[in-house]
Structure 1
Amino acid sequence: MNAHRQGRGRTGPNLVGIAARLLLPGVALALSGCGIGVLDPVGPVGGAQRTILFDSVGIMLCVVVPVILGTAGIAWWFRASNRRATYRPDFVYSGRIETMIWGIPFLVVLFLGGIAWIGAHELDPAKPLASPAKPLEVEVVSLDWKWLFIYPEAGIASVNRLVLPVGRPVHFRLTSASVFNAFFVPRLGSMIYTMNGMTTQLNLQADRVGRYPGQSSHFSGDGFAGMRFDADAVPPAAFDGWVAHARSAGPLLDRSAYLALARPSSAVAPYAYRAVVPKLFDAIVMHTIDAPPSPAVATARR
């Protein structure tokens, strides 16, 4: 009998070990994602949004943690074996308990509402960032299924690559030449939608040199999964060098080149245009130059 019990002890399932093997990969995966997402910002907008996120979680934990501990404490105190617990079958009301139950959630909603109100105004996408440097103007067009970035001051453009000078604010004007879409660089912050025939604005800034992945965060058709781009934050001298190199090579982005670019395609390798016809972005917004319809739109019109 004793030998049988000892055998079961050695070969029986180790629940703690099984739980650890199941949970640790998930925890490691979650922590590894923090290094490339919104929890590791590289600019003032992303940093402010992370602060709002942490503050909101902290406020909510002020309710969640006491409720969890209180539930466990009540269950333990009023267990059947506890002779010191008072049995009160006629209990129906307590002013103190009611005040606590309703007062704490009221304060949580008040604080969360205050954070949301202040954050919504301080982080208005169209609000310029406080900086002595002049903002860099970038015009963004979402296509099927790629991104076009136009630098009107430099007269160049790039596809699926956004190059930004470190420490300088960037003012984006965004539109869509096709369906509804969304522009998002997680480590810079502030996802914003792009809409056909409309213009939205966004102000961002990168404070650290690096390559940060950007993406379309709104489903837009068959090539959505590959609609990604690189946001390269480089020193100002390197940015000037990239502009000079782009001007010396690459095709011209005129009407015919834009119509060819606008045809639906995905997983397009980044490249640059040496020159752009003036007011191309405005022409796309005002539909004086129209991209070919996406497959979904073309099918719906038949």
Structure 2
Amino acid sequence: MRLRLLAAGLIGAVTLAGCSEGVLSPQGPVASAERQILFNSLGIMLAIVIPTILATLGVAFWFRSSNWRAHYTPDFEYSGRLELLVWSIPIMTVILVGGVAWIGSYDLDPRKPIASDVRPVRVQVVSLDWKWLFIYPDQGLASVNQLTIPVGAPVSFELTSSGVMNSFFVPQLGGQIYTMAGMVTRLHLQADHAGTYRGLSANFSGDGFADMRFAVDAVSPTAFSQWVKATRDAGPMLDAQAYADLARPSEAVASFTYRDIAPDLFNHIQSFAAQPNDPSRLADQTSQRTVK
């Protein structure tokens, strides 16, 4: 018995420890609201699950063979009261859970900007095989498998894919959303606390999927400005040819940065994503527009 209790305790501790970097440990307003929807839905469902379990145990106890007061009624067919009870409670539960989920999800529309007095930071995201490219158009720089954002500032994402569909997900900040070739999806997130959070692809995309992860560094506004300045002073330039090299499939890519980016590169990537096997065409087109 002791061993069973110890094993159960260890399993529970391991399970709860896994929540320290997941959706149950939110670090931003979107993730906090998503967790609240989860808890509200769970509470409503427990309101029917727990009475049902207790009723099942109560019926089994009352109709035990040793209880001579329990009457055996083999001819029982219908009871309006029981029908009302059996159908009304599940219907009310579905309505409540659906209402909570619908209203909460509507308020968390990914395209809806986060209300704030702080100017949003724009980040353009490109999912590649098998890595993430983050372009900062206002700062004129880019990074691979590393997303640095200021604490307390909304982040406005534009997301696309260079080829196959992927799913951008930072569990502690919320807002899982798909990236698709030739399309742009939008997402708004915010980090309320400094720290390093886990980002990943939540959609299988091939051999290198397991290593398609990135770090989200939420830093103070001052530290973010220092990071921008340091990035501008080091690293290569992300022009069309550098992007063509980056777009080639590769696995377990270490994070690095680009000090400068080609003009309007994200829109060029989105426009030519339908030809992922012909990156040279993107390079030629971007070079021509840059010369003009």
The TM tier, using the shorter chain, reads: over 0.9
Q: Distance in 1 between matches of 2:278 and 2:69?
A: 76
Task: Report the counterpart of residue 285 of structure 2 in structure 1.
Answer: none
Offset of residue 115 of structure 1? 1.0
**Post-superposition CA distance 1:75-116 (Å, at most 9, x none):** 011000011112222222222111111000011011011112
Contact 2:162-2:273 at 8 Å conserved across structures:
no
Task: Report the counterpart of residue 201 of structure 2 in structure 1.
Answer: 216
Contact 1:173-1:199 at 8 Å conserved across structures:
yes
Offset of residue 255 of structure 1? 0.7
Q: Distance in 1 between matches of 2:183 and 2:274?
A: 14
Q: Distance in 2 between matches of 1:24 and 1:292?
A: 52
Contact 1:45-1:204 at 8 Å conserved across structures:
yes
223, 226, 232: which is aligned to 1:238? 223
Matched residue type, 2:253:
V
Q: Distance in 2 between matches of 1:59 and 1:265?
A: 46
Give the secondary-structure state (helix, strand or coil) at the position aligned to 2:5: helix
Matched residue type, 1:103:
S
Matched residue type, 1:281:
F
Task: Report the counterpart of residue 34 of structure 1 in structure 2.
Answer: 19
Name the TM-score, length of structure 1 as normaliser: 0.90
Give the secondary-structure state (helix, strand or coil) at the position aligned to 1:35: helix
Number of residues paired by the alignment? 279
Q: Distance in 1 between matches of 2:215 and 2:100?
A: 32
Q: Distance in 2 between matches of 1:217 and 1:40?
A: 18
Task: Report the counterpart of residue 116 of structure 2 in structure 1.
Answer: 131
Offset of residue 17 of structure 1? 2.8
2:60 matches 1:75 = yes
2:162 matches 1:177 = yes
Give the secondary-structure state (helix, strand or coil) at the position aligned to 2:235: coil
Indicate how the Cα distance of structure 1 residues 152 and 177 shifts in structure 2: closer, same or farther if over 3 A, else same.
same
Contact 1:157-1:274 at 8 Å conserved across structures:
yes
Matches within 5 A, 1:274-285: 274-285=259-270
Task: Report the counterpart of residue 271 of structure 1 in structure 2.
Answer: 256
Contact 1:38-1:189 at 8 Å conserved across structures:
yes
**Post-superposition CA distance 1:182-236 (Å, at most 9, x none):** 0000000010000011000000000000000100010000000000000000000
Offset of residue 265 of structure 1? 0.5
**Post-superposition CA distance 1:153-210 (Å, at most 9, x none):** 0000000000000000000000000111000000000100000110000000000000
Matches within 5 A, 1:46-61: 46-61=31-46
Q: Distance in 2 between matches of 1:26 and 1:271?
A: 38
Q: Distance in 1 between matches of 2:166 and 2:136?
A: 21
Q: Distance in 1 between matches of 2:278 and 2:45?
A: 46
Q: Unmatched 5+ residue regions in structure 1?
A: 1-15, 295-302
Matched residue type, 1:214:
G
Indicate how the Cα distance of structure 1 residues 179 and 288 shifts in structure 2: closer, same or farther if over 3 A, else same.
closer
Structure exhibiting the larger radius of gyration computed from Cα positions: 1
Contact 1:179-1:220 at 8 Å conserved across structures:
yes
Matched residue type, 1:155:
G
Give the secondary-structure state (helix, strand or coil) at the position aligned to 1:162: strand
2:24 matches 1:19 = no
Indicate how the Cα distance of structure 1 residues 71 and 196 shifts in structure 2: closer, same or farther if over 3 A, else same.
same
Identity score, percent: 56
Q: Unmatched 5+ residue regions in structure 2?
A: 280-292
Contact 2:41-2:101 at 8 Å conserved across structures:
no
Task: Report the counterpart of residue 245 of structure 2 in structure 1.
Answer: 260
